[in-house]
Amino acid sequence: MRDPTARVAWVFALVLSMFSMGCGTDPKARSTHDSADEAKAEPAPFHVSFAPYWQWIGPGVARLRVETLEDVQLNVTIRRDGTDETVPMVGTAVDLTHFWPTPEGIEEFEHNDLPGPHVLHEVVLSDVGEGEVIGWQLDLGMDPIEGTLTGPPAPGGAFRALFVGDTMSPFSDGVFQAAGTNLAELVLHGGDMQYQSNPADTWEGLSWAMMPVNTTAAMHPSVGNHEQERNNEMDEMYRRLFVDIGTDVPPIGADYYRLDHGGVRFLALDSEADALEHQLTAPDSIQLAWLEAELLDAADDPNIVAVVPFFHRPIYTLAAHGPQTEMRAVLHPLFVEHGVKLVLQAHNHSYERMVADGITYITDGGGGALLSDITAQLEAIPEEVELRQAASQTFGFTVLDFDDGTVALTRFDDDGVQVDAATVSLR
């Protein structure tokens, strides 16, 4: 577990930020947020406001993105078949109003979300082969960042994914450091990527915390409730950074999508939809109709071995936030009908494995947010206690090893210690 003194530092930062935010600020001001020692060092040529990350945006199509405050030309070196090629990235400038924790930043924090000009740079690779390992290196005015991207295997082939949810500084740093040793090819985030209840918890900080996994894995989130806080966060941060992802074209206005990877159809659902027509429990729900169509299509597609939905609010849980029973009444029968065997959830800041009607429900919101009580619902829902197979009130992440119609899942805490393991047949 992380050093308890980190919690003290977090509380100190919270108090300091609350004081600072009450002192009046210029919303257009910027801070270098350097410490006294850092101020003496040679300044970097530009500021990276969101560290590099890959995503799949189509079958065999991957996109590398990185964001800077300054309008600079970035180039990435791509290595394929032993040959290096330097490729220019295309930058798109935007003027943001989003900020956290304060418009000018606070010197005590290493990373701040600042308003003003930002440039999102990207490069797209459109012909990634099955199982192809692509090396990449990006010079960001510091030690070069390098890693790999691995193409999805043939349907039914072996690959490793990570699932994590509810990430918050500073504890998420240890979670991702431990997770990075697993060399996953895909990381799925269950939502609540950062929290505006914590002044040190920013999108910029999250991007650097995730680098131990993002250097080898494409990153695909689902929407949490904390993505929709203040300062135009949902539009300017979540949607801008994670728009147009997956391997199909979702409905207009949707924050849900499909990702087919190695014969597994991952369905990132939106349990937080604000528009009525997209809410899962709404009459004539567009999202529910889309989900049913995706499940039917998967059954008819010989290249799809299994379907794995993932979303934020759990429909089976005995922890602090009780189960979303209204959503369960809609989703669970649909999952049973279409042979879904594994569902990934977050929102509770802990780990659980429950099995209902042959479906394994994993809840892992242990990505760094202050831990939830895993015993909270035991007396309230005694009839479901027998469904729980494992639980752990720890920070951590779940490793998912897919291979030929099965998945071996292993839950580790942030010290890399195994706390649960199971094998699930996906057929």
Give the pair of three-digit tokens for residue 151.
């193409």
Cis before 101? omega within 30: yes
pLDDT in tens, 173-190: 999 999 999 999 999 999
**What is the DSSP track for 253-293?**
T-S-EEEEETTEEEEE--TT--SGGG-TTSTT-HHHHHHHH
Pair 159, 262: CB distance under 8 Å: yes
Report pLDDT for 44: 61
Instruction: Give the residue with greater pLDDT, 105 vs 16.
Output: 105
**pLDDT band, residue 303 (cuts 50/70/90):** very high
Report pLDDT for 249: 87
CA-to-CA distance for 336 and 341, rounded, in angstroms?
8
CA-to-CA distance for 392 and 370, rounded, in angstroms?
14
Report pLDDT for 105: 75
Report pLDDT for 26: 33
pLDDT in tens, 106-135: 877 889 999 999 999 999 999 999 999 999
Q: How many residues does the chain have?
A: 427
Percent of the residues in the chain that have a pLDDT greater than 70, as a whole number: 90
Strands (E) located in 269-358: 306-310, 342-345, 351-356
Report pLDDT for 261: 98
Mean pLDDT within 59-69 = 97
Task: For residue 193, give the nearest of 152, 256, 241 by alpha carbon.
Answer: 241
All structural domains of the chain: 5-148 (no CATH), 152-425 (3.60.21.10)
Whether residue 293 is predicted with pLDDT greater than 90 in this model: the reply is: yes
Mean pLDDT within 407-423 = 98
Report pLDDT for 109: 86
pLDDT in tens, 193-218: 999 999 999 999 999 999 999 999 99
pLDDT in tens, 318-360: 999 999 999 999 999 999 999 999 999 999 999 999 999 999 9
Helix (H) or strand (E) holding 117: strand 116-125
Q: Round the average pLDDT of the chain to a whole number and report it.
A: 90
Indicate the pTM of the whole model.
Answer: 0.90
Whether residue 21 is predicted with pLDDT greater than 70 in this model: the reply is: no
